[in-house]
Amino acid sequence: MAWETLIDRSQGAPPTRSTPARQLPKRLKRFLADRAAVVGLCGVLVVLAVSIFAPLLVPHDPAKQYFDGLTLEGFPLPPAAPYWFGTDLLGRDLLSRVIYGARISLLVGVVANGAAVLIGLLVGLAADYFRGWVETVLMRLTDVMTAFPALILAIALAAILRPSLWIVALVIALVNWVWIARAIYAQVLSLGRREFVEAAGALGVGTLRTLARHILPHLVSTLLVFGTLGISTTVLLEASLSFLGVGVQPPTPSWGGIINESQSYFLNAPWLVIFPGAAILLTSLSFNLLGEGLRDALDLSERR
């Protein structure tokens, strides 16, 4: 998994001597030389554009049931004009629902992963700052959370709480912060043994100021990579929860919810799973390619 790979690199790869800002042109050039990363960036930009301009792109009302959206026998219509992705079992335009589903998936992905990154950063820094029993409690908590399967834990939390958009984002954040906390903790320990940190301590600089001025700038690249790769994971997890009925609730269009609503029509109307499934696949793949490209570009200590 991308999480374990990044953790291993954060433990073994020492930071470079120059500041991150001075390395920006070299990192940008290395990123643009990676074709897969550029393709992932283009895919992410397309998803962002679709989610932002969804009201302007949808050809029909995603919540409206059209009388001509079903056959005389009551089956969904196949892809054809004016319903280019076909219709669902209620006669609603599938293209419009898939476009609005991008908003939900991206919103949950950004909010949930942003909260997970923040929680992981705070836990990792607190474990290194306080040390002693605080460090032991926080690291053993991360070990306990790692022992639970993420999807099962998310289902349990979502079932206990009332399913909604923000509850789903909170549940995903509570599940995904563990790997980030471990990576931040390992990297802070590695940075703590560097010469510039030891020099700051010898000059009487406090621990909190050392973390803010000398440690955090070197964590930006790690947080950026986690912030990108994590969105792919949250999109998949949100789709899984919605498909199982404990995620975003109808009538709000969600890619996983669209597939869940159409289970009985998979054989007779395969477009009901093909189009939302393709949207999930392409979105997750784009963020993965972008995150992998950023990880390689920001890790200048790597030797190819």
191: nearest Cα among 7, 6, 15, 4: 15
- pLDDT given for residue 105 in this prediction: 87
Q: Give yes or no for residue 14 having a pLDDT over 60.
A: no
287: nearest Cα among 110, 67, 85: 110
Residue range 61-77: mean pLDDT, rounded: 85
The whole-angstrom separation of Cα 41 and Cα 288 is 10
Q: Give yes or no for residue 283 having a pLDDT over 50.
A: yes
CB atoms within 10 A of CB 202: 8
Look up residue 271 and give its two tokens.
């477009």
The whole-angstrom separation of Cα 260 and Cα 201 is 57
Compute the mean pLDDT over every residue in the chain, rounded to the nearest whole number.
81
Selection from 50-59, 194-203, 259-268 with the highest mean pLDDT: 50-59
- pLDDT given for residue 22 in this prediction: 61
The whole-angstrom separation of Cα 21 and Cα 41 is 21
How does DSSP classify residue 60? S
Q: Give yes or no for residue 161 having a pLDDT over 90.
A: no
Q: Give yes or no for residue 13 having a pLDDT over 50.
A: no
Please, which pLDDT band fits residue 131 given cuts at 50, 70 and 90?
confident
Cα–Cα distances in angstroms (integers) from residue 75 to residues 68, 133, 243, in the given order? 11, 62, 21
Question: Tokens 């920001």, residue?
Answer: 298
Please, which pLDDT band fits residue 20 given cuts at 50, 70 and 90?
low
The whole-angstrom separation of Cα 5 and Cα 179 is 11
- pLDDT given for residue 7 in this prediction: 42
90: nearest Cα among 265, 246, 242: 265
